[in-house]
Amino acid sequence: MSVDNHRDPEALLRQIEAAERAERRGQLKIFLGYASGVGKSFKLFDEGRRRRERGEDVVIAAMQPDSDPAVAEAIRGVPIVPTKSLRGVPVIDVAAVIARRPQVCLVDGLAYDNPDGSQRRKRYEDVEALLEAGIAVMTSINLEYITEQQEFAKHVLGRTKTETVPQAFLDRADEVVVVDAPAEADTGIEEQQLSQLRQRALLLVADVVDRQLESYLRANGIQSAWGTQERILVCMTPRANAAKMLASGRRNAERFHGELFAIYVTQQHLTAEDRMALERNVTLARAQHAHIETLEGRDPVRTILDYAHAHGITQIFVGHNLRRSWRTRLGGTPLDRLIRDAEGIDVRVFPQ
């Protein structure tokens, strides 16, 4: 980019800063609401207003057609890069925004399909282009416009949307905010359905946060035994009553909105009968949608606990018969040792 405004040091500085920004990807922040009318747009524009008051260069690249007065108040004075109208559909003018080079770009309503003939098919792909150009984007979306939530939306609302955004796009966001305010406007949705949507939105963002926490911890070399989410580990042995443990594990995981894991530590000298029992258990674990893994290790107790600590397990389910299934060594039965050494993890022992 040529520096044509060299007489104005402020403008020069802005241009240098803009060039630097372009070298790195813009930050993406998403406001997630559980229904329309909960005030996502207001939250989005209100943050835009506050950033602008703090001296950031903010522009609006897309708005919803019918905004309420509070939104109108929040966007007063914020520059707008008008959308282009293609076949009556508003499309973000990506080139114009990039040429304008703001620090932050506001896109109210992420789930739009661009009409045929547009450069990109989806609005979130436009947003992606802005991010790649080094422009930070703040945007908003409703739960029912997430691709993976269509089945849920159909169940709760009896309807689905075709213009959707994949969950992976949310996962890549630098920040996701849940807008949990009570619905102000008339949403046309029954209270019970609203509650179901609210719950789902909260859990969805909690899961995004959890994944981000995990990767942060991993990047910093910290083990993930944090207990922010319940994670249940079922230890399968050939003789254990795995069906009951897995059913209970699934139910517990569901009640806590947690995760279920099932592992088996390989042992030598298994009879053909044991091997068959084990295969049955693995099939059961699969039916309960557990993360399944077969582990090897000379010391089964150590192997289980290492796995548990690495995966942030909060509860270990074992069968009573763990007392006998591995040869007793010094320091008590394997069950004794598991209980003694399961630092920070609950151990639930199941009857035969």
Residue from the set 21, 25, 289, 309 that interacts with other proteins by CB under 8 A: 309
Nearest approach, Cβ of 123 to other proteins (angstroms)? 23
Among 257, 275, 286, 291, binds other proteins (CB under 8 A): 257
Nearer to other proteins, 47 or 126 (CB): 47
Tokens 């790195």, located at residue? 24
Which string of DSSP letters, residue by residue, matches 11-26?
HHHHHHHHHHHHHSPP
223 in contact with other proteins (CB under 8 A):
yes
Per-residue binder mask for other proteins (CB under 8 A), 262-301, x = binder: ----------------------------------------
- Answer for the pair 315, 225: CB distance below 8 angstroms, yes or no: no
Question: Which residue lies nearer to other proteins by CB, 257 or 275?
Answer: 257
Minimum CB–partner distance for residue 169 and other proteins (Å): 17
- The interface with other proteins within residues 183-212 (CB under 8 A) comprises 192, 195-196, 198-199, 202-203, 205-206, 209-210, 212
Size of site (CB under 8 A) for other proteins: 62
Q: Which two tokens stand for residue 54?
A: 């703090």
For residue 346, state whether it binds other proteins (rule: CB under 8 A). Answer: yes
Q: How far apart are alpha carbons 114 and 304 in whole angstroms? A: 51
Cβ proximity to other proteins, 114 vs 224, nearer residue: 224
* Interface region with other proteins, contact rule CB under 8 A, candidates 75-83, 139-147, 255-263, 297-305: 255-263
CB of 320 to other proteins, least distance (A): 6
With the CA atoms of 265, 267, 272 and 275 taken in that order, what torsion angle do they form, in degrees rounded to the nearest 10? 0
Q: Does 310 bind other proteins (CB under 8 A)?
A: no
The number of residues in the chain equals: 352
Smallest separation (angstroms) from other proteins to the CB of 101: 22
Q: How many CB atoms lie within 10 A of CB 217?
A: 15
Residue 218 makes contact with other proteins by CB under 8 A: no
For 162, phi then psi, to 5°, come to: -95, -30
CB of 177 to other proteins, least distance (A): 5
Nearer to other proteins, 21 or 323 (CB): 323
Helix (H, G, I), strand (E, B) or coil at 67: coil
CA distance 308 to 290: 14
Task: Determine contact, residues 270/278, Cβ cutoff 8 Å.
Answer: yes
Eight-state DSSP code of residue 3: -
CB 113 within 8 A of CB 165: no
Quick one: which of 228, 266, 283, 328 contacts other proteins (CB under 8 A)?
228
Q: Decide if 157 contacts 186 (C-beta within 8 A).
A: no
Instruction: Decide if residue 97 touches other proteins (CB under 8 A).
Output: no
- Show the tokens assigned to 215: 């990767």
Whether residue 311 contacts residue 231, with contact meaning beta carbons closer than 8 Å, is answered with yes
Using the rule CB under 8 A, which residue among 80, 227, 291, 329 binds other proteins? Answer: 227
- Smallest distance from other proteins to CB 352, Å: 7
Tell whether residue 152 is a contact of other proteins (CB under 8 A).
no
Please give the Cα distance from 332 to 186 (Å, whole number): 64
**Following DSSP, what letter does each residue of 264-328 receive, concatenated?**
EE--SS--HHHHHHHHHHHHHHHHTT-EEEEE--SSHHHHHHHHHHHTT--EEEEETTHHHHS--
Residues at the interface with other proteins (CB under 8 A): 29, 174-182, 192, 195-196, 198-199, 202-203, 205-206, 209-210, 212-213, 216-217, 220, 222-223, 225-229, 244, 247-248, 250-252, 255-257, 309, 315, 320, 332-333, 335-336, 339-340, 342-352
